[in-house]
């Protein structure tokens, strides 16, 4: 676009047409301060825009094509190009996380409303032997909405304590000693395994988790969200019942991957129950 074209003023109708906007959207973006006119004729009230602003108009259209809220669009427009690109990437990553979580929730609801029909196809149940583990522990009662903060905070605190004892020797896990749902609050225990040879050095709450066989299924980060995580628990419990096995301990979540760094569809957690088979 030449300097002459940059300075040429366009009527509202022409600017909207060339900017790929409807006149209604253009008025909205004016009111929101995203795309105010360059000139308003005091006598007629007509609004005019410089042709050079078409780039901004088209960018707004494309950002709105991502269902980006106007407040976020304003943030992008105010940033230098490199930072604006990072803001768009961050916004879309959040959309993908939300979409993955909603997809898992929709599947959970489908399974629950159909009387668990098809749940066997969703989750692969496996077994393993787990040895005695000396674990650092932190326990409290927690509602579903409090779990993320408690589990994350307790895991960080216990992992820091474990660092002075040679570091964790296995994946941290969370044991639900009571139901956690809209009506119940556990209690919930976070455990970080350490080397038993360091038992004499431990100054924080700790205990031995007995050896046992586990039935478990592996789930993604999106499936960890409440309430969709309950489908995984249902799947393991259903397998235990159908296999004629017996639960010998409370349900637990074993976090074997870096949860914060994981993508929504990455496998991060095992839903497990101690069992006696046969």
Domain boundaries, the chain: 3-78, 119-276
Contacts of residue 236, Cβ cutoff 8 Å, sequence gap at least 6: 123, 125, 215, 216, 217, 251, 271, 272, 273
pLDDT beyond 60 at 242: yes
Kindly state the DSSP code that residue 79 receives in the 8-state scheme.
S
For the 3-78 domain, the top CATH level (class) is mainly alpha
- What pLDDT is stored for residue 246 in this prediction? 96
**Triad 41, 46, 52: Cα angle to 5°:** 90
- What pLDDT is stored for residue 139 in this prediction? 97
- Crossing angle (nearest 10°) for helices 81-113 and 70-78: 150
- In this predicted model, which residue has the larger pLDDT, 153 or 120? 153
Point out which residues pair with 129 in neighbouring strands: 213
- In this predicted model, which residue has the larger pLDDT, 6 or 257? 257
CB atoms within 10 A of CB 65: 9
Average of per-residue pLDDT across 8-17: 92
pLDDT beyond 80 at 275: yes
Mean pLDDT over each residue of the chain, to the nearest integer: 93
Name the pLDDT band for 1 (thresholds 50, 70, 90). very low
Place of tokens 């007509």: 46
Per-residue pLDDT tens for 143-191?
Answer: 999 999 999 999 999 999 999 999 999 999 999 999 998 899 999 999 9
For residues 134 and 169, give the distance between their C-alpha atoms in angstroms, rounded to a whole number: 10
CA 221 from centroid of its chain's CA atoms = 7
Alpha helices (H) in 164-276, listed in sequence order: 221-224, 229-242
Q: How many helices (H) and strands (E) does the chain have?
A: 10, 14
Q: What is the DSSP track for 231-259?
A: HHHHHHHHHHHHTT-EE-S--EEEE-S-T
CB atoms within 10 A of CB 137: 16
Per-residue pLDDT tens for 60-101?
Answer: 999 999 999 999 999 999 999 999 999 999 999 999 989 988
Q: Categorise residue 116: left if φ over 0, alpha if ψ from -120 to 50, beta otherwise.
A: left
Name the pLDDT band for 124 (thresholds 50, 70, 90). very high
Per-residue pLDDT tens for 38-49?
Answer: 999 999 989 999
Per-residue pLDDT tens for 24-42?
Answer: 999 999 999 999 999 999 9
Contacts of residue 89, Cβ cutoff 8 Å, sequence gap at least 6: none
pLDDT beyond 50 at 4: no
Could you name the CATH architecture of 119-276?
Alpha-Beta Barrel (3.20)
Q: Categorise residue 21: left if φ over 0, alpha if ψ from -120 to 50, beta otherwise.
A: beta
Please tell me whether residue 270 adopts helix, strand or coil conformation. Answer: strand
- What pLDDT is stored for residue 264 in this prediction? 93
Element (H, E) at 109: helix 81-113
Per-residue pLDDT tens for 183-232?
Answer: 999 999 999 999 999 999 999 999 999 999 999 999 999 999 988 999 99
Structure-block tokens of residue 223: 């499936």
For residues 255 and 210, give the distance between their C-alpha atoms in angstroms, rounded to a whole number: 19
Element (H, E) at 88: helix 81-113
């Amino acid at each position: 676009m030449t300097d002459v074209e940059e300075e040429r003023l366009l009527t509202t109708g022409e600017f909207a047409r060339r900017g790929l906007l409807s006149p209604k959207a253009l008025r909205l973006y004016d009111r929101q301060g995203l795309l105010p006119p360059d000139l308003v004729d005091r006598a007629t009230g007509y609004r005019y825009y410089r042709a050079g602003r078409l780039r901004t108009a088209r960018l707004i259209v494309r950002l709105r094509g991502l269902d980006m809220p106007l407040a976020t669009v304003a943030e992008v427009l105010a940033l230098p190009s490199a930072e604006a690109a990072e803001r768009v990437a961050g916004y879309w990553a959040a959309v993908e996380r939300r979409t993955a979580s909603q997809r898992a929730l929709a599947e959970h609801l489908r399974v629950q409303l159909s009387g668990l029909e098809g749940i066997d196809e969703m989750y692969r149940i496996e077994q393993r032997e787990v040895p005695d583990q000396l674990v650092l522990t932190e326990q409290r009662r927690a509602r579903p909405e409090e779990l993320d903060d408690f589990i994350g905070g307790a895991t960080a605190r216990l992992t820091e304590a474990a660092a002075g004892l040679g570091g964790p020797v296995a994946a941290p896990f969370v044991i639900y000693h009571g139901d956690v749902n809209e009506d119940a609050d556990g209690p919930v225990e976070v455990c970080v395994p350490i080397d038993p040879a360091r038992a004499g050095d431990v100054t924080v709450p700790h205990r031995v988790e007995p050896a046992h066989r586990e039935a478990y299924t592996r789930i993604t980060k999106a499936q960890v969200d409440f309430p969709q995580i309950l489908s995984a628990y249902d799947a393991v419990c259903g397998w235990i019942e159908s296999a004629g096995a017996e639960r010998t301990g409370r349900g637990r979540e074993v976090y074997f991957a870096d949860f914060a760094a994981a993508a929504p569809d990455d496998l991060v957690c095992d839903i497990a129950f101690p069992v006696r088979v046969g």
